[in-house]
Amino acid sequence: MALALWLGSLLSSCWQNLSILGVFLTVFTLLLDFMKRRKKWSRYPPGPVSLPFIGTMLHVDFRRPHVSFRQLHKKFGNVFNLQNCWTNVVVLNGYQTVKDALVHKSEDFADRPYFPVYEHLGYGSKSEGKPFDLRFLVNNAVCNVICTTVYGERFNYGDETFKMMLHLFESSLNEETGFLPQLLNVLPILLRIPGVPQMVFRGQKVFMDFIDVLIEKHMETWNPAHIRDFTDVFLKEMKKGKEAEESGFNYNNLRLVTADLFIAGSETTSTTLRWAFLYMLLHPEIQSKVQAEIDKVIGKEKPPTMKDQVSMPYTNAVIHEVQRCGDIVPVGLPHMTYRDTEVQGFFIPKGTTVITNLSSVLKDETVWEKPNEFYPEHFLDANGQFVKPEAFLPFSAGRRACPGEQLARMELFIFFTTLMQKFTFALPEDQPRPREDGHFALTNAPHPYLIRAVPR
Residue 320 lies in a domain: yes
Q: What is the pLDDT of residue 422?
A: 93
Residue 102 lies in a domain: no
Q: Residues 232-264: pLDDT tens digits?
A: 888 888 888 888 888 888 888 888 888 877 777
Q: What is the pLDDT of residue 319?
A: 97
Q: What is the CATH number of the domain that holds 265?
A: 1.10.630.10
Structural domain total, the chain: 1
Measured CA to CA, the distance from residue 304 to residue 415 in angstroms comes to 9
Residue 433 lies in a domain: yes
Residue 162 lies in a domain: yes
**Cβ neighbours, 10 Å, residue 345:** 8
Across the range 183-197, mean pLDDT stands at: 76
Structural contact between residues 348 and 340, judged by C-beta atoms closer than 8 angstroms: yes
- The band of 153, judged by pLDDT with boundaries at 50, 70 and 90, is confident
For residues 212 and 363, which has the higher predicted lDDT (pLDDT)? Answer: 363
Q: Residues 376-389: pLDDT tens digits?
A: 999 999 999 999 99
Of 395, 382, 452, residue with least CA distance to 424: 452
Of 40, 10, 58, 85, residue with least CA distance to 340: 40
Across the range 420-428, mean pLDDT stands at: 93
- The band of 171, judged by pLDDT with boundaries at 50, 70 and 90, is confident
- The band of 147, judged by pLDDT with boundaries at 50, 70 and 90, is confident
Q: What is the pLDDT of residue 192?
A: 79
Write the DSSP assignment of 205-268 as a string of letters: HHHHHHHHHHHHHHHHT--TTS--SHHHHHHHHHTT-HHHHHTT-SHHHHHHHHHHHHIIIIIH
Residue 315 lies in a domain: yes
Task: Report CA-CA distances (Å) from 303 to 88, 142, 318, 324.
Answer: 51, 17, 19, 27
- The band of 332, judged by pLDDT with boundaries at 50, 70 and 90, is confident
66 — phi, psi (to 5°)? -65, -30
Residue 112 lies in a domain: no
3-state secondary structure of 417: helix
Measured CA to CA, the distance from residue 88 to residue 184 in angstroms comes to 15
Residue 242 lies in a domain: yes
Task: Report CA-CA distances (Å) from 87 to 31, 61, 189.
Answer: 17, 17, 14
Q: What is the pLDDT of residue 313?
A: 97
Q: What is the pLDDT of residue 110?
A: 86
Residue 100 lies in a domain: no
- The band of 124, judged by pLDDT with boundaries at 50, 70 and 90, is very low
Q: What is the pLDDT of residue 253?
A: 87
Q: Residues 75-106: pLDDT tens digits?
A: 999 999 999 888 899 999 999 999 999 989 98
Q: Residues 61-75: pLDDT tens digits?
A: 988 899 999 999 999
Task: Report CA-CA distances (Å) from 4 to 1, 8, 10, 309.
Answer: 5, 6, 10, 94
- Domain with 356 in it: 118-455
Q: 15: which residues sit within 8 A by CB, 6+ positions away?
A: none
